[in-house]
Amino acid sequence: MKTRYLLLEDGTVFKGNAFGSEEGSIGEVIFTTAMTGYQESISDPSNCGQILTFTYPMVGNYGINPDDFESIELALSGVVIRELAEQPSNFRSQRTLDEFLKAKNVPGIEGIDTRKLTRIIRKHGSLKGKLTKAGEEVNIEQEIEKLKASIILKNVVEQVSITRPYPSPGRGKRVVLVDFGMKHGILRELNKRDCDIIVVPYNTSAKEILGMSPDGVMLSNGPGDPTDIPKAIEMVKEIIGQVPIFGVCLGHQLISLASGATSFKLKFGHRGGNHPVKDLTTGRTELTSQNHGYAIDADSIASTNLEITHIALNDGTVEGVKHTKYPVFSVQFHPEGSSGPEDSAHLFDQFIELMNANEQKESLHA
């Protein structure tokens, strides 16, 4: 294997082996604690522009298959692992992780101390990083100075959202699903419930959405800072009170901001498949799949028409809210799992119930 370097903006240098694309990349270096599901993590659009580090030591051991993608194209900037499995063993495997990343032009580095890297991120927060070209000898000091001066792109939602609407037909409730970087697992869960779905781009207006006569609106997950898409916040403001809404991850943040709350960047984010969340409405604790770098300020919710429904047991941050006047609710985690626990898949049933109740209410007033 050829040599590759991972450089961090704080001056830390890791030397390892290159796999995947021969090209280099720049991105925000993050980590996930998920022990399985590397294919879903790599294909999650929420990782757009980020260099994803896996804390689990061996990755690639069951290969890549056509069934477990969360998106068709990859949006992340790189992959960092301790040990690459070069000969996967699984009956579904069709190619190796190395072959897949080569095909998608995503660089990877293996053979470095990912525990040390994770401790650095936990101590200092997420950092800008650079993966050098495979086999390239570089001037470390110069490259780190360039890295410090580089700017991480802000238009990440625009990069991963669809550009034209498309249907996913069913015979149940009509749902407009707004794609901010949607994981396909969300679409799968709605399809399971026979919803008649129209997937629309992130910049679709409230007028266009309501013109589709939806029974409900689903706001998907997506990458980046929610304040970078102010038009989406305005769109959510306009549809609150008009139709039942369910938001996930970035969708949750947009509902909160549209209601008057504020967001902040977490030091190193929540990423993994084992995050405990307490449902304050039932007292039940569920293990959840999470992938986000921003959260909603709990204190800012007091002045809104929202109430907190879920909290993270690891750090006490807000994990879910519901509107006190309208049929609107959201969660910061991923109820569809993919990969990860499906303890919270019942929230999709709650969304169906909310649409049914709203329909009955409207028929009484008709």
Residues annotated within a binding site:
46, 222, 224, 250, 253, 291, 293-294
Separation between Cα atoms, residue 19 and residue 100, nearest integer Å:
10
Q: Which residue among 48, 286, 334, 342 is the active-site one?
A: 334
Active site includes 275?
no
Q: Which residues are annotated as a binding site for L-glutamine?
A: 46, 222, 224, 250, 253, 291, 293-294
Active site includes 249?
yes
Eight-class DSSP state of 226 = G
Active site includes 336?
yes
Overall size of the chain counted in residues: 366
Position 115, amino acid: R
Separation between Cα atoms, residue 222 and residue 180, nearest integer Å:
5
User: From residue 213, how far is each of 3, 206, 220, 243 by CA, in Å?
Assistant: 56, 11, 19, 9
Q: Residue 160 corresponds to which tokens in the numbers above?
A: 């991963």
Separation between Cα atoms, residue 105 and residue 78, nearest integer Å:
9
Separation between Cα atoms, residue 281 and residue 304, nearest integer Å:
19
Q: Which residue among 249, 275, 292, 319 is the active-site one?
A: 249
| Residue 232 Rama label (left phi>0; alpha psi -120 to 50; beta) | alpha
The H or E element that residue 119 is part of is helix 114-124
Separation between Cα atoms, residue 364 and residue 360, nearest integer Å:
6
Say how many C-beta atoms besides its own lie within 10 A of residue 2's C-beta.
11
The H or E element that residue 304 is part of is none
Q: Which residues are catalytic?
A: 249, 334, 336
